[in-house]
Amino acid sequence: MSLLRGPARLILKLLGWKLLDLPQRPAKAVVIGYPHTSNWDFPLAILTMLALEMDARWLGKDALFRFGFGPVMRGLGGIAVNRRQQTGFVERMAAEFASRSRLLLVIATEGTRSLRPGWKSGFYRIALAAGVPVVIGVVDYSKREAGLVSSLAMSGDADADMARIALCYEGRCGYHHEKASPIRLL
């Protein structure tokens, strides 16, 4: 993946995007991506992960892994998620964090590009169960900035934690800003 760092940085620069990164990334974290309002978010997020040399895994709906795309998606770090049924995914991810010395797990908090009344809670439950921080990831079209902006330890007080997360996203806009879901857990 380090061979792709230069080309990814060049593409982002040519497109007018600025990279953001933390002074020091945690070895283990749930990285959340918000807002997710466009199909363009995915290629920009992949380019950003490559440009920052993030050895990260990311969650995607299982439909993305069909029709021969599975090997490519898994090669890019993808993990297929069946959102139609309960599968014990939170517990499996917490166990995965426990078994590794390093793991960055990227999750789109809204779970869709459509306007929803709030965020899916999986990212929060995984971070708490694994005892890892939540890293704030952005693809901000208004400022043309993409990357990581903050790392927050979760307290278990969901309302207080979500208020701290909301402050990190203040002034950040998705491609279709009107489709950005309110920052609250469903």
Run means of pLDDT, 10 residues per run, the chain, 186 residues: 90 98 97 93 94 92 84 87 81 95 94 86 96 97 97 98 98 93 93
H or E element: which one contains 28? strand 28-33
**Share in percent of the chain as helix, strand, coil (round to 5):** 35, 25, 40
**What is the pLDDT at residue 46?**
93
CA distance readout (Å), 96 to 42, 44, 91, 145, 148: 24, 26, 9, 30, 22
For residue 70, with 0-12 CB atoms within 10 Å meaning exposed, 13-18 middle and 19 or more buried, which class applies? middle
Radius of gyration of the CA atoms of the chain, in A: 16
| Domain boundaries, given as residue ranges, for the chain | 2-179
3-state secondary structure of 155: coil
Contact predicate 185/118, CB 8 Å: yes
**What is the pLDDT at residue 147?**
98
CA distance readout (Å), 133 to 70, 95, 121, 146, 181: 29, 16, 15, 19, 22
- The pTM (predicted TM-score) of the whole model is 0.92
**What is the pLDDT at residue 72?**
87
**What is the pLDDT at residue 111?**
75
Enumerate residues 6+ apart whose C-beta is below 8 A from 50: 1, 4, 5, 7, 8
Enumerate residues 6+ apart whose C-beta is below 8 A from 182: 117, 118
**What is the pLDDT at residue 1?**
65
3-state secondary structure of 9: helix
3-state secondary structure of 148: strand
**What is the pLDDT at residue 146?**
98
Contact predicate 166/150, CB 8 Å: no
**What is the pLDDT at residue 83?**
72
CA distance readout (Å), 101 to 52, 56, 96, 105: 19, 13, 10, 13
